[in-house]
Structure 1
Amino acid sequence: MAEATPGLDHALAGDHLLAQGQFAQAFDAYASALQAQPQNAYWRFLAGESLFHLGRYEDCVALLHDLNPGADAALAIEHAMTLGRALQLTGQHTAAEMQLIKAFMLDPGHEEAAYNLGVFYEQAGMPEQAVSFLQAAAQRHPHSVRLHYNLGSCLAQCGQTAAAASALRATLTLHPAHVEAHHNLALLYLRQGRLAQGWPHYAWRFNRHAHEGAIADWQPHTPALPADLHGHTVWVQGEQGIGDELFFMRFLPALHALGARVHYQLCNTKLAPLLCQPAFASLVQTPPPEAPAPLRLQIGDLPLALGGTQANHYPAAVPLQANATLRARLQQQHPLLASPRRKLGLAWRAGTQAQPQGFATQRWLQKSAPLDGILDVLATLDVEVVVLQRELQPQEWAHVQTRLGEDRVLDASGYDQDLDELLALLSCLDGLVGVSNTNVHLCAGLGIGGDVLVPAPAEFRWQEEGSPSPWFPGFAVHRQSAGADWQAPMATLAASLHARYGVDQRQ
């Protein structure tokens, strides 16, 4: 009887556990197998693969960095891909790129090798480089959903809107319920002003899927509202971030105009003071019923649910009013707010940038414009500056004071917790300068405009081209082009502000 291969039983157990997603137990099994055959490259690779799936990226690198696959070409590709991904996730980007290129060069037709290299370049902020790999790979593998999807995402980041839409439509042809492809195609269409095409895809947005998508084979259902809503009750649930909820609240008056009784539940409780504003006096503030209601929807679906009345319509921001007593108190506390000199609010970043939790495309809403470039412009103006930047850092505040002068600036970064106070503060301003954030939505309601710096690719609310955006007609738009720096938008910002506020004669 032939002797059993040493460690084989443990390795076979590891194979089974790895296939079942039991990665910790799989690693233990392969470790036991390696005690019998320490030089077995394949088992060592599978132990490293188990560590990768456990998120133990540093341990994975330590185990695999000197592994020699020998003449096994398939193992060489798998080893280079796993090691490359682990190196990237431990911040060793140059070494990661070398391994991922190695995997691709070993077999340029390997679908996963091309995908991994494309994702690497996308996450490294090099979408043009990603496109060069993903386009060729998608042609070789026309049925790969992930290649078409990531190609569409990278093309959108490069400003190639038509090609991006084509790749996302190809994704949906292969996988009609691909949530991310629907969401990103919606943003492309809406950014182009193709609202009737965009809103149906927007029903697949990420947050709605996260809320409802536990159901197998989930698809969004948005009820079509009757043309005459007299006698009907519509239950509307707020959603998304503060700025998003504020934006979509502009569609609520259309329900009232059609005769509906509107019950509204806020998502962001900071917005509660808004519901006391005259514009929202008709809303009933109650939670939705436990039992399903026939006319119950999320606020982001209002444009779609309203159908023909809103499909290609840009309703204005809901008019807001500031509390005069609070405004007077703020002006007493901060004399700069009461001075006759014109005042601009300033914020140069918005959103939250998270860290990737694995090797996959991570997308989050984060916007920023170069502070020094904005300060270069503001320093030449005859204005005072109210800093509205959320999470303002001490060194940033010191830098603003140094550049503009302590007598010309006010730190108002702490007024974002109380909406009534924030509205009173904003009502003291003549305009805003910086990136789009909650303050832009509030100022639009107060009838205050400004100048918005829009990073590429633009949010759909600022559209793909032109100024101003039809969603915010009071704001001049200064766009960063895909792959370009901020020199051109800073020049148009300077011209816009100089025309309205004049040059500081004290310069």
Structure 2
Amino acid sequence: MSSLFKEALRAHQAGQTTAAEFFYRQAIAAGQEVRSARNNLVLLLVNRRAFAEAKALLAEAVAGPGADAASHFMLARLLAAEGDETAARASLERASSLDPTAIPVRLELARLLAAKGEFQAARERLDDAGPGRTPGEVAAILQGRAEIEMAWADRDPAGEALHLDAAEAALREALALAPRGATIVNNLAMLLRRRGALEEAETLARQLPALAPRAPESALTLAAVLAGRDPGREEEAVAVLRQALAQWPDDATLHYNLAYSLLRLGRLREAWPHYARRFERPRTTHRPMKGPRWDGAPTQAPLLVWAELGFGDVLQFARFLPQVAARAPNLILACQPALMPLFRHLPAVAQVVDVAKPLPPYGAQIALLDLGLALGIETVDLPGPIPFLTPPPDDGRWREIEAAPSPRIGIVWVGNRESGPARSTSLDRFARLAERLDLTLLSLQMGPAVAEIAKDGAGRVIDLSPLIRDFGDTASAIARLDLVITVDTAVGHLAGALDKETWLLLPHRTGWMWHFDPERSVWYPKHRLFRQPATADWDGLFAKLEPALAEWLGRHGGSR
């Protein structure tokens, strides 16, 4: 091994990424260990999002004589990260033809198929892995199968338990073959966390620093297992992440996860600078807008405030727009089209535009979720003025709601199943509740789950989706209700922004904004929180919800 490459590898393993890049470049220029140096340099470039340079290095490698499977494989991963799945698959197939026995290539092809929802085909890629494999190779295949099953579980709520059973069985078999396999231990710990087996998950996670002492992922997994359980364990997670940041100060994922724990603990001002590092994470799909980031100082120049995440996050942070407008009166809000009719009625906003289309000129920009940093928001500043949103003017389309008997109760049972499958329940639970309490419920549900009304809600649930085109319409519907009962989705934030009484049904492990208070929210004064008593225990939650609703109906003159 050449001295330059050895020095680069030493720096790389120590987490000294700048030095590692320098020595890898020196090794390549000197013609020392070129292939390995180039591949490792590409990994570092991808981690800091220097995709263009990484892609150029790999394109040069695969175009030249003697191109190997590893270079095609790495190019495929880069193409996949850029969203070019067709080119990525072609590069993987080329890598497979050069080295048909390569397990990493099979695994990446399976992942690519799973990402497209072709789960059975992904399974088959790993089922037909060939004879004569070493225990380590078999363990890698089993890990891949577990990965596919977990992804399948996210897309198949009805079969979730079966997929997770298969994933857990595969990981336990892999662990028996490779008991010191850090990745296996990590993945099993995270799966058990998802399934609520927190004690075993923690036992496994605490092994990781010894198994992979130079990997920040060890700290990330241990912190993830500790977080979200109670304030004491959350503080432990903070300590784990701070210790890891002392060793890897530039790791953006450590900063992001630390921010999440601090936010959950209500230590907002401490959290915001770490949260602002989220765009630096290697696999984030979001990019900051061009131009200087606004620092909160007064300005007469146009200021672009832009939405980056889901509808709920945008609605939650819209409360800060009047404070922004007081410092930057020429405020441009760039958001998703479904939110534009709602935000056009905000006096604080000079212009509302589609975030996905060409933007008007601006002097500075800031992501909506960085307003906490720019404004110095602390918990004592919450909730701010409520309501901070209003429905559009009445257009006469809401007679169906107005004609419904009082009290009028709106429901939502499904959120974004891909980003948060644990947050969704089923309509049949609401239907059984309505039957027992002799209620008719009004559905604010949108998307594919609306089809469940015909099967499970007939006679007890009125479908309002034909009247709803966007969040302005949803706001108009909510304004005519007496109570909203919803899972953790954008409707919960919208109802709170409108100052509507809202009961929020939360999974056992919640988003940071619901903190640890058993029933109340600092963000929305009229929210009442109902938390699952255990992981995936919707029946236990509804057992608490039913007597509470019966008591509420008694006070509001409804059926019992």
Distance 2:540 2:467 in 1: 32
1:247 aligns with 2:353: no
Q: Which protein shows a greater Rg? A: 1
Cα deviation, residue 345, structure 1: 0.2
Amino acid at match of 1:164: A
Aligned to 1:397: 454
Amino acid at match of 1:400: G
Aligned to 2:403: 338
Do the aligned partners of 1:249 and 1:318 also contact (CA within 8 Å) in 2?
no
Aligned to 1:444: 496
Indicate the structure with greater helix content: 2
Distance 1:505 1:289 in 2: 51
Aligned to 1:284: 351
SS at match of 1:265: strand
Aligned to 1:198: 271
Aligned to 1:52: 107
SS at match of 1:433: strand
Do the aligned partners of 2:256 and 2:274 also contact (CA within 8 Å) in 1?
yes
Structure 1 segment 462-481 matched on structure 2, within 5 A: 462-481=514-533
Do the aligned partners of 1:345 and 1:431 also contact (CA within 8 Å) in 2?
yes
Distance 2:299 2:289 in 1: 34
Deviations 1:178-204 (A, max 9, x none): 333333322222222111122222213
Relative to 1, partners in 2 of residues 1:426 and 1:166: Cα closer, same or farther, differing over 3 Å?
same
Structure 1 segment 81-100 matched on structure 2, within 5 A: 81-89=139-147, 91=149, 97=168, 100=171
Amino acid at match of 1:453: L
Structure 1 segment 379-398 matched on structure 2, within 5 A: 379-381=435-437, 383-391=439-447, 392-398=449-455
1:210 aligns with 2:278: no
SS at match of 2:518: coil
1:177 aligns with 2:258: no
Aligned to 2:80: none
Relative to 1, partners in 2 of residues 1:26 and 1:122: Cα closer, same or farther, differing over 3 Å?
farther
SS at match of 1:451: strand
CA RMSD of aligned residues (A): 3.6
Distance 1:119 1:433 in 2: 30
Cα deviation, residue 297, structure 1: 0.9
Equivalent of 1:136, from 207, 212, 219? 207
Do the aligned partners of 2:234 and 2:261 also contact (CA within 8 Å) in 1?
yes
Relative to 1, partners in 2 of residues 1:57 and 1:420: Cα closer, same or farther, differing over 3 Å?
closer
Amino acid at match of 2:466: G
Cα deviation, residue 434, structure 1: 2.2
Q: Structure 1: give runs of 5+ residues left out of the alignment.
A: 1-12, 32-45, 70-75, 354-362
Do the aligned partners of 2:325 and 2:331 also contact (CA within 8 Å) in 1?
no
Equivalent of 1:329, from 386, 392, 397? 397
Cα deviation, residue 105, structure 1: 3.8
Relative to 1, partners in 2 of residues 1:204 and 1:480: Cα closer, same or farther, differing over 3 Å?
farther
Aligned to 1:162: 235
Distance 1:154 1:426 in 2: 37
Amino acid at match of 1:63: A
Aligned to 2:511: 459
Aligned to 2:413: 348
Amino acid at match of 1:53: E
Aligned to 1:260: 328
Deviations 1:250-271 (A, max 9, x none): 10111233x4213223221122
Aligned to 2:180: 109
Distance 2:410 2:146 in 1: 39
Which has the larger displacement, 268-277 or 451-460?
A: 268-277
Distance 2:240 2:311 in 1: 31
Which has the larger displacement, 204-213 or 127-136?
A: 204-213
Equivalent of 2:127, from 48, 61, 77? 61
Do the aligned partners of 1:468 and 1:476 also contact (CA within 8 Å) in 2?
yes
Distance 2:453 2:197 in 1: 28
Relative to 1, partners in 2 of residues 1:439 and 1:47: Cα closer, same or farther, differing over 3 Å?
closer
Aligned to 1:500: 552
Cα deviation, residue 213, structure 1: 7.1
Aligned to 1:40: none
Aligned to 2:469: 417
Greater RCO, 1 or 2 (C-alpha within 8 Å, sep 6+)? 1
Relative to 1, partners in 2 of residues 1:93 and 1:385: Cα closer, same or farther, differing over 3 Å?
closer
Which has the larger displacement, 413-422 or 496-505?
A: 496-505
What TM-score, normalized to structure 2?
A: 0.69
Cα deviation, residue 125, structure 1: 6.7
Cα deviation, residue 207, structure 1: 9.7
Q: What is the number of equivalent residue pairs in this alignment? A: 445
Relative to 1, partners in 2 of residues 1:311 and 1:201: Cα closer, same or farther, differing over 3 Å?
farther
Relative to 1, partners in 2 of residues 1:346 and 1:105: Cα closer, same or farther, differing over 3 Å?
same
Amino acid at match of 1:369: T
Amino acid at match of 2:344: C
Distance 2:193 2:383 in 1: 33
Relative to 1, partners in 2 of residues 1:152 and 1:206: Cα closer, same or farther, differing over 3 Å?
farther
Distance 1:106 1:501 in 2: 58
Amino acid at match of 1:141: A
Do the aligned partners of 1:171 and 1:178 also contact (CA within 8 Å) in 2?
no
Distance 1:79 1:61 in 2: 13
Cα deviation, residue 172, structure 1: 2.8
Do the aligned partners of 2:341 and 2:392 also contact (CA within 8 Å) in 1?
no
SS at match of 2:330: strand
Cα deviation, residue 442, structure 1: 2.6
Aligned to 2:115: none
Aligned to 2:7: none
Aligned to 2:77: none
SS at match of 1:211: coil
Structure 1 segment 428-439 matched on structure 2, within 5 A: 428-439=480-491
Do the aligned partners of 1:118 and 1:130 also contact (CA within 8 Å) in 2?
yes
Relative to 1, partners in 2 of residues 1:144 and 1:254: Cα closer, same or farther, differing over 3 Å?
same
Distance 1:96 1:459 in 2: 25
Deviations 1:434-482 (A, max 9, x none): 2132222332233311211111211222222232201011111111245
Do the aligned partners of 1:316 and 1:471 also contact (CA within 8 Å) in 2?
no
Do the aligned partners of 1:14 and 1:27 also contact (CA within 8 Å) in 2?
no
